[in-house]
Every structure is written in structure tokens, then in C-alpha cells.
Amino acid sequence: MYYNENTTIFLDGKWMKAKDASTDLYAQTMHYGSGVFEGIRSYATEDGAKVFKAKEHYERLLYSAEKMHIQLNYSVEELVELTYELLERNDLQNAYIRPLVYLGANMSLQPTDEVHVLLCSWSWDRYLGDDMLRVMTSSFQRPNPKSCHVEAKVTGHYTNSILATTEAKNKGYDEALLLDMNGNVAEGPGANFFFEKDDKLYTAPLGNILAGITRQTVLELAKELGIEVFEKFFTPDEVYNADGAFFTGTAAEVAGIESLDGKAFNLPWEETLGAALSAAYLNRVQKVEYRNFELV
Ligand code: PMP
């Protein structure tokens, strides 16, 4: 699914076939989860493939690396340029791009100077699908920000996400919603969370969550559309009585949620602010917002 014999990747300054690449079994990232990564999307537009908010994603990658004491010798501009070359070499337009920074052999609990940079990409449909999601409150909490840098995108943090999604699926739900260490709603395993009540939106503030780039885009779109959004702490009890809810993420985009813990939201999805924002988001990433405007 991710690659075939023709797929080209960028690894440590070289372009090579994915099938010919290899890694060190003694890599520190493999043993301890001490790598950093990004999840980026490109969209086919009238001007060719456009990587949505490429700069913001690579700024976050550099930030994550710094937090994990990883020396990354690439600038944001270089990484953006390499990403466009990656898409071109693989003839991709609507694609998911996965940069991964991983560390070489080192069994100690200290940073290593051997830093590897992988850029790979594949054609990928929507992660969460088009169906409305039935979500459960997870028994797993998001990591306490005093235990790690939750706002950094670190490979090892995703063991928490895997446990939460697996629990939800095993219980017959589509996805999990995780609380923070204080019992407030934090985010999904790979997406931020919003709910709607009386024409207003609510989402968790920064601090105990990943600062999602889609979350930020939705905040910008909401402002443009005159929708009020409150970044504040709230509990699942407040969500049960909501008019609607949705996840936001690069892979998930703006994905509607049908129910939390079996309690359905008040409005049909089509009538929610989430549906309007989902459409606005897709227009923005595909750069078709102004298609219907005519210059007179
Ligand atoms: N929270 C978590 C835990 C995530 O893994 C992601 C996906 N990167 C998000 C939120 C959404 O972030 P973004 O909108 O930048 O993709």
C-alpha cells in the first residue's frame, strides 16, 4: 500500500528506490521511540500539486527535533523544496507525505549524533472515511505534559494513540477521544476535537494537546465565517449535550462525529458548523475558494 518497486524516497541526501533502502536494527528510534515526524498532505490544484501549509509542518518538525535534542541539518525551505521534488519523482498529486527523522545505533538513553532523514509519500484517501464517526471516551489519557513534550510530534508518543484506537475499535466504535490528566477532553489519537453548542464552537486550549495545523486552519476559517470559537477546558459531560462535533487533522481533514459514548448529537451533520467548515477546508486546500468569483 505504501510503496511498490517504482517508489522513490529521499534518504539522507540521496534519492533511491524504497525497495532498496534499509535501516539499522540497533537504531535508537526503533528501540525507544525517540524519532520525530510529520504528516503532510498535498492536493491536486489548478496550479499543480500544492502541499498544504508545508512551511508550518516543517517548522513543527524542526521544533519537535529541537525538543528531542535531535540536530537536524535542514532548513524549512530545503525540506519544502525536497517535498515537491519527491512528489514529482513519484508522479503524485493527491498524496500523503511522511517525513521521519530517526536516530542511528545507540542503546544509551542519550541523544545520538547519527541523524537520518527520510521523506516518503504515497497516494492516500481520507484516513477516517466519509462515514460519521461513533466515538468513545478512551480509558487511556493523553500523556501528561510533565512526562514528555506533548506538543512535539514524537514517534514514541503514538503508542498511546495505538492503544486508544485499538481499544475503541475492539469495543465496536470507530475512534477514541482522550482526556488529559485532569479529566478534561484533550484530543483524538491523531486529530484535534471540536464540539458545537448553540452556534458556537469549543475546543481544548493548547498545552495538553498537539497544536494541530488543521485545528489552526479551522480557527482561521471560523473567524472568516464569523463563527465564534472558544479555546477552553471542558469535560465529556458537556459534549454529550452538544449539537455536533468533529475531528480535525491533516489526514482526517474535518471529520464529522455522530456520537460520543453512544449519545448522538442534536443536529444532523449537514446542518452543523462542522459541515460548513469541512466544505470550507476542502475548498481552501484545493485552492478552489475563489473559483466562483468573477472579476467584473
Ligand atoms: N493530535 C494528534 C495527537 C495528532 O497526531 C495529529 C496529527 N498530526 C493532530 C492532533 C492533528 O494535527 P494536524 O492538524 O497538524 O495534522
Model pLDDT for residues 157-213, shown as the tens digit of each residue:
999 999 999 999 999 999 999 999 999 999 999 999 999 999 999 999 999 999 999
Tell me the pLDDT tens digit for each residue of 72-104.
999 999 999 999 999 999 999 999 999 999 999
CA of 164 to the centre of ligand 1 (A): 15
d(CA 185, CA 178): 6
CA of 70 to the centre of ligand 1 (A): 21
Tell me the pLDDT tens digit for each residue of 137-156.
999 999 999 999 999 999 99
What are the phi and psi torsion angles at 219 (to 5°)? -60, -40
d(CA 180, CA 113): 34
Residue bearing the CA closest to ligand 1, atom 2: 190
| Fold of the CATH domain 8-122 | D-amino Acid Aminotransferase; Chain A, domain 1 (3.30.470)
Q: Which CATH number fits domain 133-286: 3.20.10.10, 1.10.3860.10, 1.10.630.10, 3.30.420.10?
A: 3.20.10.10
Confidence of residue 283 (pLDDT cuts 50, 70, 90): very high
Tell me the pLDDT tens digit for each residue of 208-230.
999 999 999 999 999 999 999 99
The pLDDT of residue 289: 74
Hey, where are the domains in the chain?
Answer: 8-122, 133-286
CA of 193 to the centre of ligand 1 (A): 10
User: Which 8-state DSSP code applies to residue 170?
Assistant: H
Which atom of ligand 1 is found nearest the CA of 57?
A: 15
